[in-house]
Structure 1
């Protein structure tokens, strides 16, 4: 039987639980990385955990603490967590971007509703990162999202990233879009090569 979330009207935090959560919040801001690690793990059952974790993620300098924060955000998997992970795609910190991408790959149902928006972000780098998320995202719409990218995106690097992935996950449904992409970028050698390779792999499957 599926578990249901308890309503706030039927379950209230005991004074001990409130005290524990207050201590965990305090520990998350500690100067001691070990205390922050434990707090980042334990805070998931506390009210407002997602926002606290996201706030700490912006300032966290210890890589092990950051990894646990991202793991906890993945466990929470709510809309605020997904939105915060998307924001990480804009970070100047390449390591944080990559960690956020990996975290989002584990949230296919939660990421799916916002994927079309991220794939249409004004920043081409963010769009490329979104395609990277699709690489391991277990969702039925992955191929269609990639087809939409190569049909509509004007940036060659975004399209090239999508074509490379279509070579791995694409089916006959991608052939027309790949053919059209070759025509649209008919003077771009890499697009010609990658699209031909993708179609060859698809035809061999």
Structure 2
């Protein structure tokens, strides 16, 4: 049997596209009531919906998110709220996070410290206020931030603390961070702090450790 090749005409069919009406994106105005008065599941969904918007767009909801964190603390909802802030770091968010350093909740403080350490340029304008805060606990937490803050200003902030701080626990925290940082430029300031707090055994020991470390790095 002979096979005969047949030529087939390719027909180009034009498909008329219909106009498709897309549902409008969730708006910030729609998210707010859900975030404030919804069930836990609805609040979590609202926080996830915030990923649709940039940092500036969510600012009208920032106080609601802060209130949610303060109410929920270490519950899952509080964790999701912090995660949302992590995705929207900006000047206004960083300013709110610095306020959390005075919180009595260790979870809130630790989460705030972690987020602030990931925003060195945004945090920098607030560091002087933090290291001179009237609350010594806030000053200690500010020193904790400096321990892992990737910013060129860290040695200068620590130097400022060594020269002007009067609270022994803040000085102790600063010296510990300086030992970890191992920046030889801080050596003389550590020696001066050692003299200022000559009557405090713990500071004397901490300074000796720091001086040994800075000398070996010099």
Within the candidate set 12, 19, 24, 2:31 is matched to 24
CA distance, structure 2, for counterparts of residue 64 and residue 110 of structure 1: 27
Indicate the SS of the match to 1:89: helix
Matched, 1:38 2:45: yes
Contact 2:74–2:107 (CA under 8 A) maintained in structure 1: no
Aligned to 1:192: 204
Higher helix share: 1
CA distance, structure 1, for counterparts of residue 32 and residue 38 of structure 2: 13
Root-mean-square deviation over aligned CA pairs: 2.0
Indicate the SS of the match to 1:76: coil
CA distance, structure 1, for counterparts of residue 162 and residue 182 of structure 2: 12
Matched, 1:132 2:140: no
TM-score in terms of structure 1 length: 0.85
Contact 1:89–1:126 (CA under 8 A) maintained in structure 2: yes
Contact 1:116–1:145 (CA under 8 A) maintained in structure 2: yes
Aligned to 2:154: 142
Matched, 1:75 2:82: no
Q: How does 1:1-205 map to 2 (within 5 A)?
A: 16-17=24-25, 19-44=26-51, 45=53, 46-47=57-58, 48-61=60-73, 63-205=75-217
CA distance, structure 1, for counterparts of residue 100 and residue 89 of structure 2: 15
* Aligned length, in residue pairs: 191
CA distance, structure 1, for counterparts of residue 146 and residue 80 of structure 2: 23
Q: Give CA-to-partner distance per residue, 1:17-67, whole Å, 9 cap, x none.
A: 4x5433322332345323222322322514424333223223235622212
Q: Which runs of 5+ in 1 are unaligned?
A: 1-14
Deviation at 1:135, TM superposition (A): 1.2
Q: Which has the larger radius of gyration?
A: 2
Indicate the SS of the match to 1:16: coil
Q: Give CA-to-partner distance per residue, 1:99-146, whole Å, 9 cap, x none.
A: 111111111111011101111000100000100111111101111111
Q: Give CA-to-partner distance per residue, 1:134-189, whole Å, 9 cap, x none.
A: 11111011111111101110100000000000001032211110000010000111
Q: Return closer, same or farther for 1:95/1:102 CA change in 2, 3 Å cut-off.
A: same
Q: Return closer, same or farther for 1:156/1:62 CA change in 2, 3 Å cut-off.
A: closer
